[in-house]
Structures are given as C-alpha cells and as structure tokens.
Amino acid sequence: DALRGKNCNRLMFHVEGGNTMYTKTIGTWQKAENKIKGARWYMLTADYAFGHDLFRVSSKFLKENGGELINNDMVPTNSQDYSAYILKIRQAKPDLVYINLAGVDQTTFLKQYKEYNLPFPLAGGVMDTINFWAAGIDSISGHWQSLWYHGLEIPAALAFTNRFSSKFGFPPDNQAWGDYVGVKIMAQSIAEAKTTDALKIVAYLEKGASFDILKARKGSFRAWDHSLLQEMYVVKVKDKARMKDKWDIFDLVRPVPGANESLELIQPTREENACTMA
C-alpha cells in the first residue's frame, strides 16, 4: 500500500491491487459468510516490507470485524521448511490459517501444509494464480481473492484469453492481465488525449477517464492516490474431477464489490491512506 500511500507520486498509477484491496476482497466475503466474528485466526507473515504491510492491513480488518488473532509467526524469505510452523498450527487448533506470504514462499507452504493433512482451512492476504499453478491442484484448497482470472466469461476477457493461449500454450494469469491492461490504458490515453506529454496524460487520467479492463465493470483511476477503481473476485479451488486442464483450478464465486456496490468498497479510505501528491 505504501506506493499509493505515503510514497505516492504524481507520475505513478496503479493497475495492480494494493494490500488493502486484496484483504478487503476476501474479508468482505468472509464477513458475509460469518467466518470472521468470533473466529480464531493463526497468521504466517513474510518477514519483509511487503509481508509486514499485508499483516498490518489483514490483522486490522480481522480486529475491526470481531475476529481474534491467536498468533502470528514471522517467516524468513525463501524458507524451505515450514514443519515447525505447521506443528505450532496443529497445536493451536485455529479456526483459520491465514498466510501473508507471496511468491515461492506461498507455493512451498501450500505443498507442505497439504502433507500434514490438517483440518484447519486456509486463506490469505494475497493470491497470485501462477503460485497456485506451481503448487498443483492436490496441494491447494479453500477460498481466495483474485485480481483477475482467465475463467471470466466476459467477451473481452475471453478474447484476450484465447489470443494469449493460442500464442503461449497456456492461459494468462493475473499478472499477464495487469501487463496487458497497463499497456492498453496507456495506448487509449495517448490516443484520446492526442499527446505523449507525461503531465497531459496524468491530467487525462485524473479526470476520471474510464477503461475496458476485461472485467464486467469499467475501471478508472482515483485522482487523489491514482489507485485503479475496479472489481476483484472471490474464487474457490475447483474439485479436481471437474478440471478441464491443469490451469483450470478455480471456480468464480462472486465479484467484490458486487454489481450494485461502489468500487470504493475495497479501496483504502482517506483515513487509511497517507497519500499526498507531490
């Protein structure tokens, strides 16, 4: 969140979701499903700036909505052995294990947690599809939040997925979507503003220009912190027998915010965001 918060910059715009957005997406669903109030959560957090920030926002959301944090273990980056943490989880018997991990750390933990066959469900502060592909369907479970997923049955999303899959032999993940949409937004901005001048492009984006971002709802940037107003998704790990191929690991549960809700729902509020544009 710092890049669109205290370190925000007039020339920086954000297509990727921030930690608050990821947390509020899965948290909004968990709250609606009565999975937070009175629940005992055990967290594992990556011990570097990203993980610290993710823990800050996820533990705040948990506390504000009546949940209890029973423990948080700080995990060194690129840890190879999670057995000590998993044994502590088994002893604690939480209602939910919530991981503030990313990249290979996420993949490694998911594989090892599955080996212990513990009954405690998993969720987390962030989810990148490529890390779950790497873990494999036999090692993943539960409900997660996704910035974008190739299973979206929206014409523009299907067209992008088909083009990408034809060229590379596998579907696009959420980061491929972000790269494509970022370039697409810039191309539209240059065409409509009729300039490549950076400050004029900034002014165009800050005026609320809307963009087809391969989702059901169009996206636009907030003028005061340059975060992209957009829907995200709650996904559920698919039953293995129903998979069309090895990439088909999720069922889409619902968009967050919902169709009739403000896109501000998952964004940091002004009170939560220290951005002051230079």
91-108 residue pLDDT tens:
999 999 999 999 999 999
pLDDT at 249: 98
- Give the residues of the chain that fall short of pLDDT 70: 278
The SS3 assignment for 120 reads coil
pLDDT at 245: 97
pLDDT at 3: 82
pLDDT at 2: 79
pLDDT at 278: 65
Contact 217, 263 (CB under 8 A): yes
pTM of the shown model: 0.96
What span, in angstroms and rounded, lies between the C-alpha atoms of 182 and 257? 21
Contact 277, 8 (CB under 8 A): yes
Closest CA to 202 of 223, 188, 183, 229: 223
Closest CA to 142 of 29, 61, 56, 220: 29
Closest CA to 233 of 214, 218, 253: 253
Closest CA to 114 of 136, 146, 143: 136
Q: Are strands 232-237 and 250-256 parallel, antiparallel or unpaired?
A: antiparallel
Domains for the chain: give ranges and CATH numbers. Answer: 2-152+231-256 (3.40.50.2300), 155-221 (no CATH)
Closest CA to 73 of 46, 103, 112: 46
